[in-house]
């Protein structure tokens, strides 16, 4: 994965679209990837998350297809696939087409029939590194197709369409966080989402003295998929023992009462989720007060809990997080933690802006020296959520 990315926009995708299809797109839409600042593995427990949208986006350009068939190109340089309209809302090959098929199916369930389209996709969201390139793809596709059909589908509904696509067409049992922030993100704001009722609060992140630093661990462990589903199952088991509909309703007191019954594993899984919800609240409060030290403490607590109680980190990611405390410029780092589903992927850190490039440089050097792994980083600010870039 490479975190240093080229610029993409309606202007960059249009000439490619014309070259491939011989006519112009009538709609171009975009939706971003995300980095989660805090609130990990809480979304599918009806809890709280606090992500922000990236400036890295997935761009989808569409126009009516003159052939009576769908013609889709997965990314620049890909070959074109042709799909019969009758098959476009069913799972199929190639695998990536399921993201589009799923969205077409979910729009259909809402009474929106997508006619055959020519479609070209481009993205500068790094793939496979836990920055939600898939959510960006789903929400961008949904935003483009809804605009193309003149259908009014709210951002939250577009997020739900993306999530249902993951569940039914991609076989990933994800929560709602990634699609939600991709659809509802706002420039210069993080977003605190209550996953129980999907109400949310935008939290300004405009302090020029604080930057968000994302560093890729450059590892992706293969146990990831099974590991995620297994964690969900542990949480469900804990709920059954605690007698609550979701871990959102559980408290640390309840947990202590049922400690023996829960057993060590479920006890620790539930302790992570309950504690993480509390940390999201204190992080949100701290950011609103400009109290970056306290925000950093919540991030450190989150990482420790994900590592020891939820067990979704890995040696490389732990190394990056501990390096943030060990490099010469460590005093410029407020806090660092793994971000996303885990088992590899990226870390996120809040860093004093005047030192952020130096911190990144020292982190990469130390990581290479200690683990022999070359990697990349991104210094970023909260970007804008899904939007139509162009409509003829």
175 in contact with ligand GLA (CB under 6 A): yes
Q: What is the DSSP letter of 115?
A: P
Which is closer to ligand GLA, CB of 224 or CB of 388? 224
Task: Spot the catalytic one: 43, 118, 122, 178.
Answer: 178
41 in contact with ligand GLA (CB under 6 A): yes
311 in contact with ligand GLA (CB under 6 A): no
Which is closer to ligand GLA, CB of 345 or CB of 383? 345
CB of 215 to ligand GLA, least distance (A): 17
CB of 377 to ligand GLA, least distance (A): 20
Which is closer to ligand GLA, CB of 122 or CB of 178? 178
Let me know if 2 is a catalytic residue.
Answer: no
Among 40, 122, 311, 316, binds ligand GLA (CB under 6 A): 40
Contact partners, residue 347, CB within 8 Å, separation at least 6:
214, 215, 217, 317, 320, 321, 324, 336, 337, 338, 339
341 in contact with ligand GLA (CB under 6 A): yes
Question: Cα separation of 243 and 230, whole Å?
Answer: 20
276 in contact with ligand GLA (CB under 6 A): no
Longest dimension (CA), the chain: 68
The residues pairing with 48 across neighbouring beta strands, listed in sequence order, are: 194
Which is closer to ligand GLA, CB of 178 or CB of 362? 178
138 in contact with ligand GLA (CB under 6 A): no
33 in contact with ligand GLA (CB under 6 A): no
Phi-psi bin for 373: left (phi > 0), alpha (psi -120 to 50), beta?
Answer: beta
Among 118, 122, 138, 178, binds ligand GLA (CB under 6 A): 178
Only one of the segments 67-75, 173-181, 323-331, 368-376 lies at the binding site for ligand GLA (rule: CB under 6 A); that segment is: 173-181
Which is closer to ligand GLA, CB of 171 or CB of 331? 171
Question: Cα separation of 176 and 41, whole Å?
Answer: 11
Question: Cα separation of 377 and 233, whole Å?
Answer: 33
344 in contact with ligand GLA (CB under 6 A): no
CB of 273 to ligand GLA, least distance (A): 10
Which is closer to ligand GLA, CB of 47 or CB of 296? 47
Number of C-beta neighbours around residue 298 at 10 A: 26
Question: Cα separation of 20 and 222, whole Å?
Answer: 36
CB of 36 to ligand GLA, least distance (A): 6
Cβ(198)–Cβ(296) below 8 Å: no
Number of C-beta neighbours around residue 52 at 10 A: 26
CB of 345 to ligand GLA, least distance (A): 9
Only one of the segments 113-121, 170-178, 216-224, 260-268 lies at the binding site for ligand GLA (rule: CB under 6 A); that segment is: 170-178
3-class SS shares of the chain: helix, strand, coil, % to 5: 45, 25, 30
Tell whether omega for the bond before 94 is within 30 degrees of 0, i.e. cis. Answer: yes
99 in contact with ligand GLA (CB under 6 A): no
51 in contact with ligand GLA (CB under 6 A): no
303 in contact with ligand GLA (CB under 6 A): no
Question: Cα separation of 295 and 300, whole Å?
Answer: 9
CA within 13 Å, CB half, 192: 18
* Torsion 360-366-369-371 (CA) sign: negative
Binding-residue total with ligand GLA (CB under 6 A): 10
CB of 335 to ligand GLA, least distance (A): 17
174 in contact with ligand GLA (CB under 6 A): yes
Cβ(50)–Cβ(38) below 8 Å: yes
CA within 13 Å, CB half, 391: 12
Among 185, 340, 344, 383, binds ligand GLA (CB under 6 A): 340
CB of 238 to ligand GLA, least distance (A): 16
279 in contact with ligand GLA (CB under 6 A): no
Question: Cα separation of 379 and 310, whole Å?
Answer: 28
Give the residue numbers marked as catalytic.
178
Q: What is the contact surface with ligand GLA in residues (CB under 6 A)?
A: 40-41, 43-44, 174-175, 177-178, 340-341
């Amino acid at each position: 994965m490479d975190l240093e990315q080229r610029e993409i926009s309606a202007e960059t995708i249009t000439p490619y679209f014309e070259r491939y299809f011989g006519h112009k797109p009538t709609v171009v839409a975009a939706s971003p990837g995300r980095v989660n600042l805090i609130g990990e593995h809480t979304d599918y427990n009806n809890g709280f998350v606090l992500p922000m949208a990236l400036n890295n986006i997935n761009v989808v350009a569409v126009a009516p297809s003159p052939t009576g068939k769908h013609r889709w190109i997965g990314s620049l340089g890909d070959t074109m696939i042709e799909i019969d309209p009758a098959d476009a809302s069913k799972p199929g090959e190639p695998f990536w087409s399921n993201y589009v098929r799923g969205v077409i199916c979910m729009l259909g369930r809402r009474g929106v029939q997508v006619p055959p389209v020519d479609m070209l996709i481009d993205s500068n969201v790094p793939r496979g590194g836990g920055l939600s390139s898939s959510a960006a793809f789903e929400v961008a596709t949904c935003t483009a197709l809804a605009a193309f059909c003149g259908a009014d589908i709210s951002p939250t509904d577009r997020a739900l369409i993306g999530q249902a696509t993951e569940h039914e067409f991609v076989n990933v049992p994800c929560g709602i966080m990634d699609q939600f922030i991709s659809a509802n993100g706002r420039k210069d704001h993080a977003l605190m989402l209550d996953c129980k009722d999907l109400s949310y609060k935008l939290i300004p992140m405009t302090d020029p003295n604080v930057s968000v630093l994302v560093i890729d661990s450059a590892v992706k462990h293969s146990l990831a998929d099974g590991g995620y589903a297994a964690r969900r199952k542990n949480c469900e088991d804990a709920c059954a023992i605690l007698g609550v509909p979701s871990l959102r309703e559980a408290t640390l007191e309840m947990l202590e009462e049922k400690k023996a019954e829960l057993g060590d594993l479920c006890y620790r899984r539930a302790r992570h989720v309950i504690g993480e919800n509390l940390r999201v609240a204190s992080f949100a409060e701290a950011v609103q007060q400009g109290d970056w030290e306290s925000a950093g403490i919540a991030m450190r607590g989150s990482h420790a809990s994900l590592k020891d109680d939820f067990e979704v980190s890995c040696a490389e990611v732990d190394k990056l997080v501990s390096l943030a405390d060990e490099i010469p410029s460590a005093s410029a780092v407020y806090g660092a933690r793994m971000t996303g589903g885990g088992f590899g992927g990226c870390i996120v850190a809040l860093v004093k802006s005047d030192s952020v490039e130096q911190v990144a440089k020292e982190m990469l050097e130390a990581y290479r020296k200690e683990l022999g792994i070359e990697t990349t980083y991104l210094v970023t600010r909260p970007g804008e959520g899904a939007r139509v870039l162009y409509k003829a």
